[in-house]
Amino acid sequence: MSKVSEIAKMIDHSILNPTLTDEDLKRECEVAKKYNVASVCVKPYAVKQAAALLEGSSVLVGTVIGFPAGNSAVEVKVFETETACRDGAVEIDMVINIGKALQEDWDYLRDEIKAVVDASHAHGAITKVIFETDYVTRDEHKIKLCEICSDCGADYVKTSTGFGFVKGQDGKYSYAGATAHDIALMRKHSAPHVKIKAAGGVRTLSDLLQLKELGISRCGATATATMLEEAKKIFSEE
């Protein structure tokens, strides 16, 4: 596998912006096919359409559960997961109940994560558990979530949704997304079988390669074409 192909197969091409239309979905699936990325991550209603658009390619279809705020009841998250899998999703990115993490209700989160993991695995899909690190900011909470995900059989732990905007006292919103600190922390405290996905704020090839050195296996991205065109230029010159 070439260096460019290796990088492409780290990317989950994100097609999640609320304003995107079906025409946008078609265009972005074509981008995913052109660059032969690992997967697309689409809105739940679009799973069937994405599966049809990508049929015959090696690009996998993933979707999001409890997105973006993680507020759905556990039973709803399980239903979303089962529906998505029946529609053709083979990768499930679930958002945890953020408030439960902040109040340290670990039993609730263990049950929630295990329920979605079990539902995914029953349909042959993998599960990525999103912590939303712009909200879950304390290292001890992130460490505990890594331990729970490891125990529950999650396939990945993931930093962010890309939509975890934090409103400051001045009324303005800020966002960090994936950081080197959080990636290193998650890699250190997750079991060896659990992979790491960075998402949110990874906009350049340099960003992706830096996080790859820290242990990520996947990266959510919207700037897929820009990053891979840059990779072609850099690695074709070596």
- Extents of the domains making up the chain: 3-236
Q: Catalytic residue among 114, 144, 158, 195, which?
A: 158
CA distance 10 to 13: 10
Q: How many CA atoms lie within 13 A of 161 on its CB side?
A: 25
Output DSSP code: residue 217: S
Contact 81, 120 (CB under 8 A): yes
Q: Is 197 a catalytic residue?
A: yes
Candidates 30, 34, 37, 33; CA nearest to 7 is 37
Q: Is 9 a catalytic residue?
A: no
CB count within 10 Å of CB 17 equals 12
Q: Is 158 a catalytic residue?
A: yes
Output DSSP code: residue 165: P
Q: Catalytic residue among 114, 144, 195, 197, which?
A: 197
Instruction: Look at residue 195 in the predicted model and tell me its pLDDT.
Output: 98
Reduced to 3 states (helix: H, G, I; strand: E, B; else coil), residue 126 is: strand
In tens, the pLDDT along 9-67 reads: 999 999 999 999 999 999 999 999 999 999 999 999 999 999 999 999 999 999 999 99
Residue with tokens 């890594």: 146
In tens, the pLDDT along 81-131 reads: 999 999 999 999 999 999 999 999 999 999 999 999 999 999 999 999 999
Contact 178, 160 (CB under 8 A): yes
Give me the mean pLDDT over the 135-154 stretch. 98
Identify the CATH number of the domain defined by range 3-236: 3.20.20.70
Q: Catalytic residue among 93, 134, 182, 207, which?
A: 93
